């Protein structure tokens, strides 16, 4: 097994507030991992910490065997970390194609043709401005833009939030296709456990900044007691 990301006894947070406590996690290359938990459990903080956007208190974060503890967010991005934040952040005055090409790094399989094949809606709207896209199309653009940097690990922060069921289904299929066809490793924060577990290989559950579950997604999807205890059916995550 080739571990792409290794987190060892990591504690981190914002300012003086520690949100993650003694977190340990391994992500194998080519696998997809769901990060689940109730609101405030530390899910988004975990992704922000991987990207270097929080205060690092203790522990180590290794990516491709290299310790990233002191590296800036820009250095981490150049090392192969891709980031899709909740805010989506399309450039409103640029066309879809311009949004994609402005970040393109020609160091891997992802290019304009490949992201358009993954998201045909974007190809149909390639001349539209970012401000002219629907919420679902903006989310597709945010994911496609991250792919254009050709990351080794893609971090997705609640990519399905606020989207219609048909768009959720489309995006879920795209995430699975990314992993299957190119071996891209993904770490997905998602508030709906059924959606998250269906599109990932394994899962962790965070509760008050601690990892309280780690295992296969298929097994967790059958463990209603654990889902109920730490996430709650129908609750916000």
User: Which of 52-56, 77-81, 148-152, 177-181 shows the lowest per-residue confidence on average (mean pLDDT)?
Assistant: 177-181
Task: Indicate whether 76 pLDDT > 80.
Answer: yes
Question: pLDDT (tens digit, 9 = 90+) per residue, 21-53?
Answer: 999 999 999 999 999 999 999 999 999 999 999
Percent of the chain with pLDDT over 70: 97
C-alpha 188/C-alpha 199 separation (Å) is: 9
Query: Residue 237 pLDDT more than 70?
Result: no
| pLDDT for position 233 | 53
Distance, in Å, from the CA atom of 9 to the CA atom of 17, rounded to the nearest integer, reads: 17
Taking each continuous run of H as one helix and of E as one strand, the counts in the chain are: 10, 10
The predicted model scores a pTM of 0.91
- Taking the C-alpha atoms of residue 152 and residue 184, their distance in angstroms, rounded to an integer, is 6
DSSP 40-98: TSSHHHHHHHHTT-SEEEEEEEEETTEE-TT--HHHHHHHTEEEE-TT----TTSBHHH
Domains of the chain in sequence order: 3-230 (3.40.50.300)
Mean pLDDT of 202-209: 96
User: Of 21-35, 62-76, 222-236, which gets the smallest average pLDDT?
Assistant: 222-236
In whole angstroms, what is the distance from residue 23 CA to residue 25 CA?
7
Model confidence band, residue 235 (pLDDT cutoffs 50, 70, 90): very low
When pLDDT is averaged across residues 110-120 and rounded to a whole number, the result is: 94
Model confidence pLDDT, tens digit, residues 124-179: 999 999 999 999 999 999 999 999 999 999 999 999 888 888 888 888 898 889 88
């Amino acid at each position: 097994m080739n571990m792409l990301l290794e987190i060892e006894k990591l504690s981190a947070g914002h300012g003086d507030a520690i949100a993650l406590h003694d977190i340990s996690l391994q992500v194998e290359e080519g696998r997809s991992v769901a990060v689940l938990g109730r609101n405030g459990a530390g899910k988004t903080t975990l992704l922000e910490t991987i990207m270097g956007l929080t205060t690092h208190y203790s522990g180590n974060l290794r990516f491709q065997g290299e310790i990233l503890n002191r590296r800036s967010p820009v250095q981490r991005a150049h090392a192969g970390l891709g980031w899709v934040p909740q805010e989506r952040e399309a450039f409103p005055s640029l066309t879809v194609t311009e949004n994609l090409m402005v970040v393109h790094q020609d160091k891997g399989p992802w290019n304009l043709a490949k992201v358009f094949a993954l998201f045909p809606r974007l190809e149909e709207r390639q001349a539209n401005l970012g401000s002219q896209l629907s919420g679902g199309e903006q989310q597709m653009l945010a994911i496609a833009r991250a792919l254009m940097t050709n990351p080794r690990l893609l971090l997705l922060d609640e990519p399905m939030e606020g989207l219609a069921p048909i768009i959720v289904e489309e995006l879920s299929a795209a995430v699975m296709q990314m992993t299957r066809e190119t071996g891209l490793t993904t770490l997905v924060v998602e508030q709906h456990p059924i959606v998250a577990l269906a599109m990932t290989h394994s899962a962790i559950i965070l509760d008050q900044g601690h990892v309280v579950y780690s295992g296969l997604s298929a097994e967790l999807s059958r463990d209603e007691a654990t889902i109920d205890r730490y996430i709650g059916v129908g609750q916000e995550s």
